[in-house]
A = this chain, B = another copy of it.
Amino acid sequence: MNDEHSFKGEKPNRTTLRHVANLAGVSEISVSRVMRNAPNISDKLRRKVMEAANTLSYTPNRVAGALKNQSSNLVAVVLPSMSNDVFAAVLDGIESELNEHGLHSVLGLSQYDHDRELQVIRELLSWSPMGIIMTGLHHSAPIPEMIAQLDIPVVQIMDIEGTPIGSAVGISHSKAAIAAADHLYGKGYRKIGYIGAWNERPERSRARRLAFEARLAKLGVPLVASVIVDERSSAVAGARTTADLLAEHPQIDCIFYANDDLAMGGLFYAMSANIDVPGDLGLMGFNGIEIGKATPLPLSSIQTPRFEMGQEAAKLLLAARTDGHRVVDLSFQVFEGKTA
């Protein structure tokens, strides 16, 4: 315990408007106005105040400001998890945009649990954020009402197939799955398998799988088999699962994965096992992560705009006051690697 300097109760008492006002010889409200760059301030006043503020190294207390204003420069950001690179990229995008406007994220992780999400959102809303960004379109019942009480803009990210509470930005996961199916069919694959993980979290991956299956059926080449392993997605899991799936269904000539981590594992397995990719086995991932583009055979994948999604979400939030609620479809792209 280094802090011997303060006896209990003898707080150093943060410097406030009042201190600055006294030193500058002006009223508190004037200091407040200068700090906020309010209009109609004389240069003389501004200079006096700024000088006093600097010598005291005064920082406005936003908590008090937010209380008075009923709103803050905080944005509630609710994501399922930080373990998934996808959400790190999204958060990066969100921050890049928010920071330009002096806003900050307060983070809440739902861990893919709806009850937990409710709890987290309740806590974040108690900070009177100026807006909220949340993941997906499905949430427990009380949430829309809670948000409505604060009358703040909402942006839901990742998915746009459904009914958003406010704005939404994302991609059509079913269209992406269809594009993947068409791509693989176009490459001549006819015995296609699917690999997912971790009980299909995020739930959007299930939508993709279903759309993928449906499309293949329609094309007359129904899915041969699909495996959803219990553990979390990882290259290691992808490698093992690929081996298992091929052992059980040797006729499979192509695998579509729930994400690139799994697909990379599949690719590594194929390399170790000397399987001819893309000749004897096609591999296709989802997301288009950076590292997949550096492998000896670049990984074919669906390129999703993760950073941009976050960025656009923040933009929608900021524009909501003037533009109202909107739905933005950021399109995906089929990344033509060399694995399918």
Contacts and interface: CB of A to CB of B under 8 A. Distances in A.
A72 B82 contact: no
Contacts of A149: 12, 14-15, 57
A302 interface: no
Interface string A173-200: 0000000000000000000000000000
Interface stretch (A61-69, A131-139, A204-212, A279-287): A61-69
Given A14-B149, A145-B57, A146-B57, A1 B324 contact: yes
A3 B123 contact: no
B107 A124 contact: no
A337 to B, nearest CB: 13
Contact of A124 (B61, B104, B109): B104
A106 B104 contact: yes
Interface residues of A, number: 74
A125 interface: yes
A74 B151 contact: no
Nearest to A260: B291
A296 B325 contact: no
A92 interface: yes
Contacts of A91: 82, 88, 107
Interface string A75-113: 000000111010011011001000100101111110000
Contact of A293 (B236, B294, B295): B236
A63 B14 contact: no
A199 B291 CA distance: 21
A35 to B, nearest CB: 11
Given A74-B106, A236-B290, 9 more contacts: A3-B151, A14-B70, A15-B149, A59-B146, A63-B127, A73-B123, A95-B109, A104-B123, A236-B293
Interface of A: 1-3, 6, 11-12, 14-15, 57, 59-64, 66-67, 70, 72-74, 81-83, 85, 88-89, 91-92, 95, 99, 102, 104-109, 120, 122-128, 142, 145-146, 148-151, 166, 234-236, 238-239, 261, 264-265, 268, 271-272, 290-291, 293-296, 323-325
